[in-house]
Amino acid sequence: MPKYKPGDLVGIETKDRKYTGILMERPELSGDNYLVIKLESGYNIGISLDRIKKIKKIGTGVKREKFKLKKHKKDSSKKDISILATGGTIASRVDYITGGVHSAFSAEDLISAVPELGEIANIHGKQIFNKFSENIVPRDWIKLAKATEKEIKKGVNGIVITHGTDTLGYTSAALAFMLKTPVPVVLTGAQRSSDRGSSDASLNLIHSAIVAARGNFSEVVVVMHGETSDSFSLIHPATRVRKLHSSRRDAFQTINSKPNGRVSMNSIEFFKEAKLAKELRLDTKLEEQVFLLKYFPGLNPKVIDDLVKTGYKGIVIGGTGLGHTSDLLFEKIKDAIESGISIAMTSQTIFGRVNMNVYSTGRILQDIGVIPCEDMLSETAYVKLMWILGQTKNPEKVREMMLTNYAGEITERSDI
């Protein structure tokens, strides 16, 4: 059978009928015993190869569009910001040949696709990597932190980082611990891809650019839609933000604290006193062998042994309620701590904090050596323990650092 390319317009004759349509790529994990075409009606169909009698190319069909960078003239009256692209839905669109959503926009594509950015600041774009966020690993956090430091050293007034939403909270926390910045560093993403009418991509990017260019603060934050319409976005602290819905545009919320502020097309309003610093400092040492374990009824205590044998240096447990596990785990947790493993406790509840002094379960776990993590999010505690173990393996120093507030991850009183 002749080789045709996705996008070719083909005519296919089977044993019982004829079809005309655009040849599409098959999904990566599918078999290779059929062809997929998009009919004129817009529907896709798969045709088994053993049914095809004849296929011929009729035309080239759909051509892939290539976005071109819109050049912006530097304006000395405007501030300079860098947009660092990492992929994700904010940098994706539907490929109407394959029917799938692809990370297709480079940093240059983003700037060209959102011309309002040129009215906000002098824009510099750079692609750091191009990954959906579920594929991002701790080494990528380090790469991104170093790239951010490099841009700040060039003298830009702010940074915007585009990122997939699913693990955005992990990356924002990692940057908050690794990077002390004298300028705003803003992470943003999109719940819906740029080609969709209901997309939040452009507005999230515009609001982030406004915050990066005009925000008088120096820390890492996350900017995402504040409600389902397009009136404003919220500015979230990097270590306290969580995605609470799989698809809503206002999925991101600040947990156990207030957002830092909100931004619209015409204004920025801050709810907290802004952090101001002149120092740029980078510390990217991470211990990647840290495990985030969610306790559940029936959890086999031998799991703790397995983690120790696998070589993990730290474990963050998402415990029940105020920070509990079954007493069946106590002995294994004690053995792990005595072998040099640092174990910290957070709560599975979204709001509130651990308090391991209330019940005997919590008091015993503390006596064993488990570190209570106050009102830290589990994912933030996980990233923080990686960062701390990159600095020291001394158990007492690890405990001291886990209970020290470095980037707003701990509050004295949790707010709803």
Q: What is the pLDDT of residues 380-414, one digit of tens each?
A: 999 999 999 999 999 999 999 999 999 999 998 87
- Of residues 99 and 324, the one with the higher pLDDT is 324
Nearest 5°: CA angle at 37, between 32 and 41? 155
The predicted pLDDT at position 192 comes to 77
The structure tokens 């007492």 sit at 396
Q: Which of 182, 393, 187, 185 is nearest to 285 (CA)?
A: 393
The predicted pLDDT at position 222 comes to 98
pLDDT at 115 over 90: no
The predicted pLDDT at position 367 comes to 97
- Of residues 275 and 333, the one with the higher pLDDT is 333
Q: Are 416 and 358 in contact (CB under 8 A)?
A: no
Taking all residues of the chain, what is their mean pLDDT, rounded to a whole number? 88
- Between the alpha carbon of residue 246 and those of residues 42, 165, 223, 366, the distances in Å are 27, 9, 17, 35
Tokens encoding 298: 């029936």
Span 41-49, average pLDDT: 78
Residue 173 burial by Cβ neighbours in a 10 Å radius (0-12, 13-18, 19+): buried
**Distance between CA 18 and CA 22 in Å, rounded?**
14
Tokens encoding 77: 């009256």
Q: Which of 286, 38, 289, 304 is nearest to 178 (CA)?
A: 286
**Distance between CA 198 and CA 208 in Å, rounded?**
18
The predicted pLDDT at position 46 comes to 82
- Of residues 73 and 287, the one with the higher pLDDT is 287
- Between the alpha carbon of residue 221 and those of residues 51, 255, 391, the distances in Å are 56, 14, 24
pLDDT band at 31, cuts 50/70/90?
low
Angle between helical axes of 395-402 and 378-391 (0-180°, round to 10): 140
pLDDT at 111 over 60: yes
**Distance between CA 354 and CA 345 in Å, rounded?**
8
Strand partners, 372: 345
The predicted pLDDT at position 104 comes to 46
pLDDT band at 368, cuts 50/70/90?
very high
β 18-24/34-39 pair status: antiparallel
Please state the φ and ψ torsions of residue 291, each to the nearest 5 degrees.
-115, 135
pLDDT band at 67, cuts 50/70/90?
very low
The predicted pLDDT at position 106 comes to 55
The structure tokens 């209330």 sit at 358
Span 42-57, average pLDDT: 83
- pTM for this predicted structure: 0.83
Taken in order of first residue, the domains within the chain and their CATH numbers are 9-59 (2.30.30.520), 80-282 (3.40.50.1170), 290-402 (3.40.50.40)
Q: Are 291 and 381 in contact (CB under 8 A)?
A: no
DSSP string, 194-252: TTSTT--HHHHHHHHHHHHHH----SEEEEEESSSSSS-EEEEETTSEEE--SS-TT-E
Q: Convert the pLDDT of each residue in 205-236 to its tens digit.
A: 999 999 999 999 999 999 999 998 889 999 99
pLDDT band at 69, cuts 50/70/90?
very low
β 281-282/9-14 pair status: unpaired
Q: Determine how many CB atoms are found less than 10 A away from the CB of residue 180.
A: 19
**DSSP summary character for residue 324:** B
Q: Convert the pLDDT of each residue in 147-200 to its tens digit.
A: 999 999 999 999 999 999 999 999 999 999 999 999 999 999 988 766 565 678
Span 328-349, average pLDDT: 98
Active site residues: 89, 165-166, 243
Measured over the CA atoms of residue 365, residue 367, residue 373 and residue 374, the dihedral's sign is: positive
The predicted pLDDT at position 393 comes to 96
pLDDT at 66 over 50: no
The predicted pLDDT at position 61 comes to 56
Within 8 A by CB and 6+ apart from 398, the residues are 314, 342, 371, 385, 388, 389, 392
Q: Convert the pLDDT of each residue in 251-309 to its tens digit.
A: 999 999 999 999 999 999 999 988 888 899 999 999 999 999 999 999 999 999 999 99
pLDDT band at 5, cuts 50/70/90?
confident
Span 246-254, average pLDDT: 94
Residue 99 burial by Cβ neighbours in a 10 Å radius (0-12, 13-18, 19+): middle
* SS3 call for 44: strand
Strand partners, 20: 11
Residue 292 burial by Cβ neighbours in a 10 Å radius (0-12, 13-18, 19+): middle
Span 125-140, average pLDDT: 92
Nearest 5°: CA angle at 253, between 263 and 399? 115
**Distance between CA 269 and CA 282 in Å, rounded?**
29
* SS3 call for 400: helix
pLDDT at 120 over 80: yes
